Amino acid sequence: MPEIDRTILEAFLVAGDTPVSGDKIARELGLSRVSVWGRLERLRREGFVFEASTRVGYRMTRVPERLHAALVAARVRLLSGRELPLLGLEAVDSTNSEAERQLAAGREPPFGVLAAVQTAGRGRLGRVWHSKDNGNLYLSLAFRPLLAPERMQMFTLVMGVRLGHFLAERFGLKMQVKWPNDLLCDGRKLAGILTEARIDADHVRDLVFGIGINLNAREKDFPPELRATAGSLALAVGKPLDPHRTAAEIIAHLLASYEKFVAEGKGADFAELWTRYDFLCGKKVTVSMLGKELAGTVAGLDESGALLLRDSKGNTHALNAGEVTLKKK
Protein backbone atom coordinates (compact mmCIF):
# COMPACT_ATOMS: atom_id res chain seq x y z
CA MET A 1 0.00 0.00 0.00
CA PRO A 2 2.13 2.83 -1.28
CA GLU A 3 -0.32 5.48 0.02
CA ILE A 4 0.42 4.41 3.60
CA ASP A 5 4.17 4.53 2.95
CA ARG A 6 3.69 7.97 1.44
CA THR A 7 1.84 9.22 4.51
CA ILE A 8 4.44 7.78 6.89
CA LEU A 9 7.29 9.32 4.90
CA GLU A 10 5.45 12.63 4.75
CA ALA A 11 5.26 12.67 8.55
CA PHE A 12 9.05 12.19 8.72
CA LEU A 13 9.71 14.88 6.13
CA VAL A 14 7.53 17.37 7.98
CA ALA A 15 9.18 16.53 11.30
CA GLY A 16 12.74 16.99 9.99
CA ASP A 17 15.04 16.53 12.99
CA THR A 18 12.20 16.25 15.48
CA PRO A 19 11.47 12.64 16.48
CA VAL A 20 8.21 11.20 15.18
CA SER A 21 6.30 8.90 17.46
CA GLY A 22 5.16 5.56 16.06
CA ASP A 23 2.03 5.91 18.20
CA LYS A 24 1.14 9.20 16.58
CA ILE A 25 1.58 7.81 13.05
CA ALA A 26 -0.50 4.76 14.01
CA ARG A 27 -3.27 6.96 15.39
CA GLU A 28 -3.28 9.25 12.37
CA LEU A 29 -3.39 6.37 9.92
CA GLY A 30 -5.80 4.27 11.92
CA LEU A 31 -3.23 1.45 12.02
CA SER A 32 -1.87 -0.62 14.87
CA ARG A 33 1.61 0.18 16.22
CA VAL A 34 2.70 -3.23 15.05
CA SER A 35 1.71 -2.59 11.47
CA VAL A 36 3.46 0.83 11.49
CA TRP A 37 6.54 -0.93 12.85
CA GLY A 38 6.23 -3.53 10.07
CA ARG A 39 6.06 -0.74 7.48
CA LEU A 40 9.16 0.94 8.90
CA GLU A 41 10.99 -2.40 8.72
CA ARG A 42 10.05 -2.76 5.07
CA LEU A 43 11.11 0.80 4.31
CA ARG A 44 14.42 0.04 6.07
CA ARG A 45 14.97 -2.88 3.72
CA GLU A 46 14.36 -0.49 0.83
CA GLY A 47 17.19 1.79 2.00
CA PHE A 48 15.70 4.15 4.61
CA VAL A 49 17.34 4.58 7.99
CA PHE A 50 15.07 5.45 10.93
CA GLU A 51 17.00 6.07 14.11
CA ALA A 52 15.24 5.53 17.39
CA SER A 53 15.71 8.72 19.34
CA THR A 54 14.94 8.48 23.06
CA ARG A 55 11.60 6.89 23.82
CA VAL A 56 9.82 9.61 21.92
CA GLY A 57 10.14 8.17 18.46
CA TYR A 58 12.21 7.95 15.30
CA ARG A 59 14.04 10.29 12.99
CA MET A 60 14.54 9.56 9.30
CA THR A 61 18.31 9.91 8.88
CA ARG A 62 18.81 8.43 5.46
CA VAL A 63 16.77 7.84 2.30
CA PRO A 64 17.56 5.49 -0.61
CA GLU A 65 19.92 6.76 -3.28
CA ARG A 66 17.64 5.50 -6.00
CA LEU A 67 14.30 7.18 -6.55
CA HIS A 68 11.74 5.74 -4.15
CA ALA A 69 8.22 6.33 -5.47
CA ALA A 70 6.53 6.77 -2.07
CA LEU A 71 9.12 9.36 -1.02
CA VAL A 72 8.70 11.25 -4.29
CA ALA A 73 4.90 11.13 -3.84
CA ALA A 74 5.27 12.41 -0.26
CA ARG A 75 7.35 15.34 -1.48
CA VAL A 76 4.90 16.08 -4.31
CA ARG A 77 2.09 16.29 -1.77
CA LEU A 78 4.06 18.52 0.57
CA LEU A 79 5.06 20.82 -2.26
CA SER A 80 1.76 21.04 -4.06
CA GLY A 81 -1.00 19.47 -1.98
CA ARG A 82 -1.60 17.02 -4.85
CA GLU A 83 -1.97 13.31 -4.13
CA LEU A 84 -0.53 11.48 -7.10
CA PRO A 85 -0.45 7.68 -6.83
CA LEU A 86 3.02 6.79 -8.06
CA LEU A 87 4.06 3.30 -9.04
CA GLY A 88 7.80 2.71 -8.62
CA LEU A 89 9.49 -0.12 -10.49
CA GLU A 90 13.06 -1.40 -10.47
CA ALA A 91 12.88 -2.23 -14.16
CA VAL A 92 10.22 -2.15 -16.83
CA ASP A 93 10.16 -2.28 -20.62
CA SER A 94 8.84 1.30 -20.85
CA THR A 95 7.04 3.42 -18.25
CA ASN A 96 4.69 4.59 -21.05
CA SER A 97 3.84 0.95 -21.84
CA GLU A 98 3.33 0.21 -18.14
CA ALA A 99 1.02 3.22 -17.78
CA GLU A 100 -0.94 1.98 -20.80
CA ARG A 101 -1.20 -1.51 -19.27
CA GLN A 102 -2.39 -0.04 -15.99
CA LEU A 103 -5.03 2.03 -17.80
CA ALA A 104 -6.14 -1.02 -19.78
CA ALA A 105 -6.44 -2.95 -16.50
CA GLY A 106 -8.83 -0.29 -15.18
CA ARG A 107 -6.57 1.91 -13.05
CA GLU A 108 -8.09 5.38 -12.74
CA PRO A 109 -5.89 8.29 -13.79
CA PRO A 110 -4.19 10.46 -12.77
CA PHE A 111 -1.29 8.32 -11.67
CA GLY A 112 2.41 8.11 -12.41
CA VAL A 113 4.92 5.37 -13.20
CA LEU A 114 8.60 5.71 -12.33
CA ALA A 115 11.33 3.20 -13.12
CA ALA A 116 15.03 2.97 -12.29
CA VAL A 117 15.70 1.17 -15.59
CA GLN A 118 13.78 0.81 -18.84
CA THR A 119 14.69 -2.16 -21.00
CA ALA A 120 12.81 -0.84 -24.05
CA GLY A 121 12.55 2.91 -23.42
CA ARG A 122 10.89 4.54 -26.41
CA GLY A 123 11.70 7.86 -28.02
CA ARG A 124 9.91 9.74 -30.75
CA LEU A 125 9.79 8.41 -34.31
CA GLY A 126 10.49 4.84 -33.18
CA ARG A 127 13.82 5.67 -31.59
CA VAL A 128 15.26 4.03 -28.48
CA TRP A 129 15.53 6.08 -25.27
CA HIS A 130 18.73 5.10 -23.49
CA SER A 131 17.46 4.17 -20.00
CA LYS A 132 20.19 2.66 -17.83
CA ASP A 133 20.28 2.77 -14.04
CA ASN A 134 22.27 6.01 -13.98
CA GLY A 135 20.28 8.32 -11.73
CA ASN A 136 18.09 9.67 -14.52
CA LEU A 137 14.34 10.06 -14.39
CA TYR A 138 12.07 7.83 -16.48
CA LEU A 139 8.54 8.93 -15.79
CA SER A 140 5.07 8.58 -17.27
CA LEU A 141 2.01 10.47 -16.08
CA ALA A 142 -1.40 9.11 -17.05
CA PHE A 143 -4.33 11.48 -17.40
CA ARG A 144 -7.90 11.39 -18.68
CA PRO A 145 -8.51 14.87 -20.06
CA LEU A 146 -11.75 14.03 -21.97
CA LEU A 147 -11.12 16.95 -24.30
CA ALA A 148 -11.62 17.05 -28.06
CA PRO A 149 -8.44 15.83 -29.83
CA GLU A 150 -7.88 19.22 -31.50
CA ARG A 151 -7.68 20.85 -28.06
CA MET A 152 -4.74 18.61 -27.20
CA GLN A 153 -2.76 19.48 -30.34
CA MET A 154 -0.26 21.73 -28.57
CA PHE A 155 -0.10 19.76 -25.33
CA THR A 156 3.47 18.45 -25.65
CA LEU A 157 4.85 21.79 -26.85
CA VAL A 158 3.21 23.66 -23.99
CA MET A 159 4.28 21.13 -21.33
CA GLY A 160 7.84 21.20 -22.70
CA VAL A 161 8.21 24.97 -22.72
CA ARG A 162 6.67 25.33 -19.25
CA LEU A 163 9.06 22.72 -17.88
CA GLY A 164 11.99 24.43 -19.61
CA HIS A 165 10.96 27.73 -18.03
CA PHE A 166 10.70 26.09 -14.61
CA LEU A 167 14.17 24.52 -14.87
CA ALA A 168 15.67 27.78 -16.12
CA GLU A 169 14.29 29.70 -13.13
CA ARG A 170 14.81 27.01 -10.52
CA PHE A 171 18.43 26.18 -11.39
CA GLY A 172 19.52 29.36 -13.15
CA LEU A 173 20.13 27.49 -16.41
CA LYS A 174 20.16 28.61 -20.00
CA MET A 175 17.39 26.32 -21.17
CA GLN A 176 16.08 26.03 -24.71
CA VAL A 177 13.30 24.03 -26.32
CA LYS A 178 13.90 22.36 -29.66
CA TRP A 179 10.63 21.83 -31.51
CA PRO A 180 8.74 19.72 -30.93
CA ASN A 181 9.79 18.24 -27.63
CA ASP A 182 13.47 18.33 -26.71
CA LEU A 183 14.74 20.31 -23.73
CA LEU A 184 18.28 21.54 -24.18
CA CYS A 185 20.74 23.25 -21.90
CA ASP A 186 23.82 24.84 -23.42
CA GLY A 187 22.99 22.98 -26.61
CA ARG A 188 22.91 19.54 -24.93
CA LYS A 189 19.76 17.45 -24.68
CA LEU A 190 18.52 17.21 -21.08
CA ALA A 191 15.09 15.76 -21.65
CA GLY A 192 12.71 14.34 -24.24
CA ILE A 193 8.96 13.91 -24.19
CA LEU A 194 6.81 11.20 -25.73
CA THR A 195 3.06 11.77 -25.40
CA GLU A 196 0.76 8.93 -26.40
CA ALA A 197 -3.02 9.09 -26.44
CA ARG A 198 -6.05 6.87 -26.88
CA ILE A 199 -8.96 8.59 -28.51
CA ASP A 200 -12.54 7.37 -27.91
CA ALA A 201 -15.33 8.76 -30.06
CA ASP A 202 -14.63 12.50 -29.93
CA HIS A 203 -12.50 12.62 -26.82
CA VAL A 204 -8.95 12.06 -25.79
CA ARG A 205 -9.64 9.37 -23.25
CA ASP A 206 -6.26 8.24 -22.02
CA LEU A 207 -3.22 10.40 -22.27
CA VAL A 208 0.23 9.18 -21.29
CA PHE A 209 2.82 11.91 -20.93
CA GLY A 210 6.24 10.21 -20.89
CA ILE A 211 9.36 12.14 -20.06
CA GLY A 212 12.98 11.14 -19.75
CA ILE A 213 15.05 13.70 -17.86
CA ASN A 214 18.77 13.31 -17.43
CA LEU A 215 19.02 14.16 -13.76
CA ASN A 216 22.22 12.92 -12.20
CA ALA A 217 23.96 11.16 -15.09
CA ARG A 218 27.67 11.86 -15.53
CA GLU A 219 29.24 12.03 -18.96
CA LYS A 220 30.56 8.47 -18.74
CA ASP A 221 27.05 7.20 -17.99
CA PHE A 222 25.94 7.98 -21.53
CA PRO A 223 26.82 5.64 -24.41
CA PRO A 224 29.77 6.99 -26.45
CA GLU A 225 27.56 8.03 -29.36
CA LEU A 226 25.54 10.36 -27.08
CA ARG A 227 28.41 11.92 -25.12
CA ALA A 228 28.81 14.91 -27.42
CA THR A 229 25.12 15.79 -27.44
CA ALA A 230 23.58 14.65 -24.13
CA GLY A 231 23.74 16.57 -20.88
CA SER A 232 22.21 16.24 -17.45
CA LEU A 233 20.81 18.65 -14.88
CA ALA A 234 23.62 17.72 -12.49
CA LEU A 235 26.29 18.43 -15.13
CA ALA A 236 24.62 21.74 -15.96
CA VAL A 237 24.28 22.77 -12.31
CA GLY A 238 27.77 21.51 -11.46
CA LYS A 239 26.83 19.20 -8.58
CA PRO A 240 24.70 16.11 -7.95
CA LEU A 241 21.07 16.87 -7.18
CA ASP A 242 18.82 15.38 -4.52
CA PRO A 243 16.88 13.02 -6.83
CA HIS A 244 13.73 12.88 -4.68
CA ARG A 245 13.43 16.61 -4.20
CA THR A 246 14.19 17.33 -7.86
CA ALA A 247 11.83 14.66 -9.22
CA ALA A 248 9.07 15.89 -6.90
CA GLU A 249 9.55 19.52 -7.95
CA ILE A 250 9.40 18.48 -11.61
CA ILE A 251 6.31 16.30 -11.11
CA ALA A 252 4.50 18.99 -9.09
CA HIS A 253 5.26 21.44 -11.86
CA LEU A 254 4.07 19.04 -14.59
CA LEU A 255 0.80 18.41 -12.72
CA ALA A 256 0.17 22.14 -12.39
CA SER A 257 1.00 22.64 -16.09
CA TYR A 258 -1.38 19.84 -17.07
CA GLU A 259 -4.20 21.38 -15.04
CA LYS A 260 -3.52 24.79 -16.54
CA PHE A 261 -3.55 23.29 -20.04
CA VAL A 262 -6.88 21.53 -19.49
CA ALA A 263 -8.40 24.74 -18.11
CA GLU A 264 -6.90 27.32 -20.48
CA GLY A 265 -5.21 25.58 -23.40
CA LYS A 266 -1.80 26.95 -24.31
CA GLY A 267 -2.30 30.00 -22.07
CA ALA A 268 -1.85 33.72 -22.70
CA ASP A 269 1.89 33.52 -21.94
CA PHE A 270 2.73 30.71 -24.40
CA ALA A 271 3.87 32.90 -27.32
CA GLU A 272 6.20 34.89 -25.08
CA LEU A 273 7.61 31.74 -23.47
CA TRP A 274 8.13 30.05 -26.83
CA THR A 275 9.97 33.07 -28.22
CA ARG A 276 12.14 33.17 -25.11
CA TYR A 277 13.17 29.49 -25.19
CA ASP A 278 12.93 28.62 -28.90
CA PHE A 279 16.19 26.97 -30.00
CA LEU A 280 15.43 26.78 -33.73
CA CYS A 281 14.10 30.19 -34.71
CA GLY A 282 16.21 31.72 -37.51
CA LYS A 283 18.34 28.57 -37.89
CA LYS A 284 18.96 26.77 -41.16
CA VAL A 285 17.69 23.21 -40.85
CA THR A 286 16.60 20.10 -42.66
CA VAL A 287 13.34 18.51 -41.59
CA SER A 288 12.76 14.85 -42.37
CA MET A 289 9.29 13.42 -42.33
CA LEU A 290 7.91 10.23 -43.85
CA GLY A 291 11.07 9.67 -45.87
CA LYS A 292 11.04 13.19 -47.35
CA GLU A 293 13.38 16.05 -46.57
CA LEU A 294 12.76 19.76 -46.64
CA ALA A 295 15.45 22.37 -46.13
CA GLY A 296 14.94 25.95 -45.05
CA THR A 297 15.11 28.54 -42.31
CA VAL A 298 12.88 28.23 -39.25
CA ALA A 299 10.45 31.13 -38.90
CA GLY A 300 8.74 30.21 -35.62
CA LEU A 301 5.43 28.43 -35.07
CA ASP A 302 1.96 28.92 -36.44
CA GLU A 303 -1.17 29.15 -34.26
CA SER A 304 -1.51 25.35 -34.13
CA GLY A 305 2.09 24.76 -33.06
CA ALA A 306 3.30 23.65 -36.52
CA LEU A 307 6.89 24.58 -37.36
CA LEU A 308 7.18 27.28 -40.02
CA LEU A 309 9.97 26.63 -42.48
CA ARG A 310 10.89 29.13 -45.21
CA ASP A 311 12.54 27.45 -48.19
CA SER A 312 15.10 28.98 -50.59
CA LYS A 313 12.31 30.14 -52.92
CA GLY A 314 10.66 32.10 -50.15
CA ASN A 315 7.75 29.68 -49.70
CA THR A 316 6.68 28.96 -46.12
CA HIS A 317 5.72 25.42 -45.10
CA ALA A 318 3.86 24.55 -41.89
CA LEU A 319 5.12 21.19 -40.60
CA ASN A 320 3.18 19.22 -38.01
CA ALA A 321 5.81 16.56 -37.38
CA GLY A 322 9.33 15.63 -38.33
CA GLU A 323 12.92 15.34 -37.24
CA VAL A 324 14.83 18.61 -37.35
CA THR A 325 18.57 18.60 -38.01
CA LEU A 326 20.66 21.75 -37.95
CA LYS A 327 22.52 22.43 -41.18
CA LYS A 328 26.27 22.39 -40.81
CA LYS A 329 27.67 25.85 -41.46
Binding residues (CB under 6 A) for ligand BTN: these are: 94-96, 118, 121-124, 127, 129, 138-140, 182, 192-194, 210-212
For the CB of residue 128, give the shortest distance to ligand BTN in the complex, in Å.
9
Q: Which residues contact 264 (CB under 8 A, 6 or more apart)?
A: none
For the CB of residue 120, give the shortest distance to ligand BTN in the complex, in Å.
7
What distance in Å separates the CA atoms of residue 213 and residue 244, rounded to the nearest whole number? 13
57 vs 85, which CB is nearer to ligand BTN?
85
C-alpha dihedral over 294, 296, 297, 298, to 10 degrees?
-20
Indicate the helix (H) or strand (E) that contains 104: helix 95-104
Starting from the edge strand earliest in sequence, which strands make up the sheet with 111-118, in order? 86-92, 111-118, 137-143, 203-213, 188-200, 182-185, 175-178
122 vs 253, which CB is nearer to ligand BTN?
122
43 vs 230, which CB is nearer to ligand BTN?
230
For the CB of residue 240, give the shortest distance to ligand BTN in the complex, in Å.
20
For the CB of residue 159, give the shortest distance to ligand BTN in the complex, in Å.
12
Name the residue number minimizing CB distance to ligand BTN. 192
For the CB of residue 237, give the shortest distance to ligand BTN in the complex, in Å.
21
* Residue 313 DSSP label: T
127 vs 310, which CB is nearer to ligand BTN?
127
139 vs 142, which CB is nearer to ligand BTN?
139
